[in-house]
């Protein structure tokens, strides 16, 4: 099969997976989340089926889960700020609390109209991050809802977009690398002004004449480790199809990988990169 035919087939299969994921029944935002800051800028409506966060020059907004999670899978459908979103960051992540917190991050860095969003991922263990990988998306995340997922197992953490894996962080405790496994985490999301760094390193500022900026959420789902089949939960590896899709994303859409940034780590790359 030629490269273009392979890409076309892969995109079609990913679209089918996205439809399957998107058609699942979502949770209820009133039951699952608390609006935590930003006043009326954070809203739940549609009988608890839809949530929006807004940002204006005065403030952003955010929410957090009522429950804490220790392993499992979370899925959320997001439609990001459209148009000129430069300077804005929409963050969606799992985190525990305290100076030695663990954290698993999706952050969507806005851009000027016509330029792509950057999807920024990171993993913190015992308070230490610096494990950034960044991607462009293979679609416009402002036109429709897309599903962003985290699978957190004792063996590894997998980041997925429309059920396509984009990143895997493996448990490397046997090589002395801390792994998030003891601290329960809540889900957090926020829309905030980061125009001091988010777009082109802070060169492009937010255009407040376009405010308020709004991001949309729906179809939240969570599965605890007990809700997986035992074989599925114990499985330590992606299947062959998922590995192909992971390689496709990392080859064509990854724009930054801390594991190849030799300038940043002149004393040597982090242990997990070797």
Judge contact between 191 and 89, C-beta under 8 A.
yes
Residue 103 designated active-site: yes
Residue 107 designated active-site: yes
Q: What is the mean pLDDT of the chain?
A: 89
Q: Which one of 107, 132, 173, 272 is the catalytic residue?
A: 107
- Dump pLDDT digits (tens) for 110-167: 998 778 999 999 999 999 999 999 999 999 999 999 999 999 999 999 999 999 999 9
pLDDT score of 16:
38
Q: Which has the higher per-residue pLDDT, 26 or 67?
A: 67
Q: DSSP letter at 246? A: H
Residues 6+ apart with CB under 8 A from 117: 80, 85, 108, 109, 110, 111, 136, 137, 141, 142
- Beta bridge mates, 167: 159
Judge contact between 164 and 249, C-beta under 8 A.
yes
Instruction: Write out the two tokens for 164.
Output: 């396509």
- Dump pLDDT digits (tens) for 231-273: 666 666 799 999 999 999 999 999 999 999 999 999 999 999 9
Q: Which one of 68, 103, 173, 272 is the catalytic residue?
A: 103
pLDDT at 202 over 80: no
pLDDT score of 20:
35
pLDDT score of 102:
98
pLDDT score of 3:
46
Instruction: Write out the two tokens for 235.
Output: 């499985």
pLDDT score of 43:
98
Q: What distances in angstroms separate CA 33 from CA 21, 22, 135, 197, one per listed residue?
A: 21, 20, 28, 29
Distance CA 86, CA 84 (A): 6
pLDDT score of 95:
98
């Amino acid at each position: 099969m030629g490269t273009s035919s392979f890409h076309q087939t892969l995109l079609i299969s990913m679209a089918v997976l996205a439809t399957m994921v998107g058609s699942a029944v979502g949770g209820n935002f009133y039951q699952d989340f608390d609006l935590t800051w930003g006043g009326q800028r954070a809203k739940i409506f549609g009988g608890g089926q839809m949530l929006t966060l807004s940002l204006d020059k005065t403030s952003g907004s955010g929410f957090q889960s009522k429950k804490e999670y220790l392993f499992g899978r979370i899925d959320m459908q997001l439609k990001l700020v459209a148009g000129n979103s430069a300077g804005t960051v929409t963050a969606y992540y799992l985190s525990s609390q305290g100076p030695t917190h663990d954290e698993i991050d999706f952050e969507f860095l806005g851009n000027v109209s016509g330029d792509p969003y950057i999807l920024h991922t990171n993993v913190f263990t015992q308070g230490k991050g610096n494990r950034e990988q960044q991607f462009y998306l293979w679609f416009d995340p402002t036109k429709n809802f897309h599903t962003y997922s985290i699978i957190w197992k004792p063996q590894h953490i997998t980041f997925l977009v429309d059920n396509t894996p984009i990143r895997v962080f493996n448990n490397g405790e046997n090589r002395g690398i801390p792994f998030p496994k003891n601290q329960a985490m809540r889900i957090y999301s926020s829309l905030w002004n980061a125009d001091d760094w988010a777009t082109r390193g802070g060169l492009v500022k937010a255009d407040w004449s376009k405010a308020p900026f709004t991001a949309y959420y729906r179809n939240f789902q969570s599965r605890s480790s007990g809700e997986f089949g035992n074989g599925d939960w114990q499985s330590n590896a992606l299947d062959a199809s998922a590995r192909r899709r992971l390689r496709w994303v990392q080859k064509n859409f990854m724009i930054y990988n801390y594991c190849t940034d030799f300038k940043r780590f002149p004393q040597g790359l982090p242990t997990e990169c070797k």
